[in-house]
Structure 1
Amino acid sequence: MKKTIVTLMLVAAGATAAVSCGSGSASDKHNDSVVSNETNDSIMIYYGRTIGGNILSNLDTYARETGDTLDKEEYLAGLQYLLSEERSNDFLSGVAGAMRILGDMEEYGKMGISLDRKKMLEALRASLLADSVDVARIQADGEALGALVQSVADKAEQRRLDVVRKSPEAIKNDRTGAAAAAAALKNNAGAVKTDNGIVAIIETKGKGDISEHAHLRLNMKSRHINGDVWQSTDTEQVIVPHGLAKGYIEAIKMLGIGGKGRFYIPADLAYGPAGLAQAGVGPMEWMIVDIEVVREDAPTATAGK
């Protein structure tokens, strides 16, 4: 369903407001004695032409801006279905509900969920026509739905990231980072490589064990593999390691309070195939991170002696 439908319906509503500026209907008050048949016909014709022209204008604008089109005959068929005869407010409320449901189903379709409308309507009917409201059941059903949809979304995202991981850009970034880390390990005395691939060059070894939930004051710079800084943190900010990427957490723990060093962090321990587009971090980029753990605000680290 194209989002422009909502816009076009609002256009129609705007046209209604424009021609309904009086305080009431003359025909209702005076049993049609004030408004002649000829006037009635003219109003309906002008009203129809005004709405039709506005819709056409919006369709034309939408097509030029997006390159997409809406089937005018299908759209007209929808209008005629609702407007060809008088409908109750309850019926129209159902139509409005259906429009919202169609929006949800469109999103489900994008996620690869098969849209079996018959099954959905059968379940909807059974719940709607129940003799009483079962709050616990509604809550349980909602939670089950949320869990299932989230599972599908996670699988879809993982599939997308698997494709990105194999892209030429991601492969190049990973290889470039690994080569830079290998060179740093070779050319810096005292550099070490952890089991999961982090290359650490520790300038000053700090004291104590740091909890992931510690409130720390850090001087930290995150760099692209070419050395350009893309993020910088100083002691004005409180940093809780738990909220950082896995490689950052491990690096901070290696230092201890008062420690300082540089770390080459593999992509899978940083931002992985997803990258961090808003910061210019591409897929499978390694990070060079300079960290100084200045102090801890909360007493959650065990100080060494």
Structure 2
Amino acid sequence: MRIMKFLSLVTLVLLVVSCNKNGVTKKPLKTELDSVSYAIGLDVARNVKNSFDEFDSDLFIQGFINASDSSDVLLEQADAQKVVQAYFQKKQKKMAEEAQAQGEANRVEGVAFLEANKSKEGVQTTESGLQYIVLKEGSGEKPTTTSKVKVHYHGTLLDGTVFDSSVDRGEPAEFGVTQVIKGWTEGLQLMPLGSKYKFFIPQELAYGANPRPGGAIKPYATLIFDVELLEIN
């Protein structure tokens, strides 16, 4: 079982650390094996931190020693595997429930924000629910679904958190009009060349339940973008 092999490796690291009461001996990396050994230690430690909120290293080492000398074993191997599986299943279920609750909170917050926002001065709303403000109206042509555009943009969450910004990077972005989220595809086609608009994008026109894992955008988040249309190709 992969998880049990992983835990056994963690045990070795903890055993070495626990045996050195004055701390880990500092050794230079002289050989390839030295580097590999150190890299494995780093990787295991990071995995432990990511996998366990709480951890009893004494009992961990006790289990390792009991298994090594086959004495005073408190759990048989099959039972130990069940315990570990149950732990991670419970943890995954809890994380899923928390993510679902947070996603629903984001959805409700977005609906309330857009409802209040649509009556503000200058805000226009399309049939899809996309809201926008014209910050600067250009006089050129408008993009179509076959166009490629160059834009400067600044994206934030409702609380003001910046999650992406070509403005901050100092380099415009180029992409096809249909290569972005639905709110962008629709909004870009409203903009004459040279325009700058602010978009308020409902979650169903953004990333919905499936934003990029680990990113600042959470499920069902409403997004705000300042977009300046620089070129149409």
> Could you say which residue in structure 2 is the equivalent of 1:241?
177
Q: Distance in 2 between matches of 1:65 and 1:177?
A: 46
Q: Which has the higher helix share?
A: 1
Unaligned runs of 5+ in 1: 5-58, 68-162, 299-305
Residues 120-139 of structure 1: matches in 2 within 5 Å?
Answer: none
One-letter amino acid of the structure 1 residue matched with residue 8 of structure 2: R
> Is residue 193 from structure 1 mapped to residue 125 from structure 2 by the alignment?
yes
Q: Distance in 1 between matches of 2:136 and 2:172?
A: 22
Judged with a 3 Å threshold, the aligned counterparts in structure 2 of structure 1 residues 198 and 60 are, in CA distance, closer, same or farther, namely closer
- CA displacement at 1:236 relative to structure 2: 3.7
The alignment's TM-score, normalised by the length of structure 1, stands at 0.42
One-letter amino acid of the structure 2 residue matched with residue 203 of structure 1: L
Unaligned runs of 5+ in 2: 12-95
> Could you say which residue in structure 1 is the equivalent of 2:22?
none
The alignment's TM-score, normalised by the length of structure 2, stands at 0.54
Q: Is the 8 A contact 2:156 2:162 kept in 1?
A: yes
> Is residue 167 from structure 1 mapped to residue 167 from structure 2 by the alignment?
no
> Could you say which residue in structure 2 is the equivalent of 1:130?
none
Judged with a 3 Å threshold, the aligned counterparts in structure 2 of structure 1 residues 182 and 66 are, in CA distance, closer, same or farther, namely farther
User: Percent identity at matched positions?
Assistant: 19
- CA displacement at 1:241 relative to structure 2: 2.0
Judged with a 3 Å threshold, the aligned counterparts in structure 2 of structure 1 residues 66 and 212 are, in CA distance, closer, same or farther, namely farther
Q: 2:216 aligns with which of 266, 280, 285?
A: 280
Q: 1:211 aligns with which of 122, 130, 144?
A: 144
> Could you say which residue in structure 1 is the equivalent of 2:161?
228
> Could you say which residue in structure 2 is the equivalent of 1:258?
194
- CA displacement at 1:65 relative to structure 2: 5.3
Secondary structure of 1:222's partner?
Answer: strand
Q: Distance in 2 between matches of 1:60 and 1:179?
A: 47
One-letter amino acid of the structure 2 residue matched with residue 233 of structure 1: S
Q: Is the 8 A contact 2:143 2:149 kept in 1?
A: no
Q: Distance in 1 between matches of 2:173 and 2:141?
A: 21
> Could you say which residue in structure 2 is the equivalent of 1:177?
110
Residues 1-305 of structure 1: matches in 2 within 5 Å?
Answer: 2=1, 61-64=5-8, 167-187=100-120, 189-206=121-138, 207-234=140-167, 235-296=171-232, 298=233
Residues 129-166 of structure 1 show CA distances to partners (whole Å, capped at 9, x for unaligned) of xxxxxxxxxxxxxxxxxxxxxxxxxxxxxxxxxx98x9
- CA displacement at 1:66 relative to structure 2: 8.4
Secondary structure of 2:190's partner?
Answer: helix
Residues 42-66 of structure 1 show CA distances to partners (whole Å, capped at 9, x for unaligned) of xxxxxxxxxxxxxxxxx97544358
Q: Distance in 2 between matches of 1:170 and 1:219?
A: 29
Give runs of ≥4 in structure 1 deviating > 6 Å. none
- CA displacement at 1:212 relative to structure 2: 2.7
Q: Which has the higher strand share?
A: 2
One-letter amino acid of the structure 1 residue matched with residue 117 of structure 2: A
One-letter amino acid of the structure 2 residue matched with residue 175 of structure 1: V
Q: Distance in 1 between matches of 2:100 and 2:201?
A: 20
Indicate the structure whose relative CO is greater, using CA pairs within 8 Å and at least 6 residues apart.
2
The count of aligned residue pairs is 144
Residues 88-143 of structure 1 show CA distances to partners (whole Å, capped at 9, x for unaligned) of xxxxxxxxxxxxxxxxxxxxxxxxxxxxxxxxxxxxxxxxxxxxxxxxxxxxxxxx
One-letter amino acid of the structure 2 residue matched with residue 64 of structure 1: S
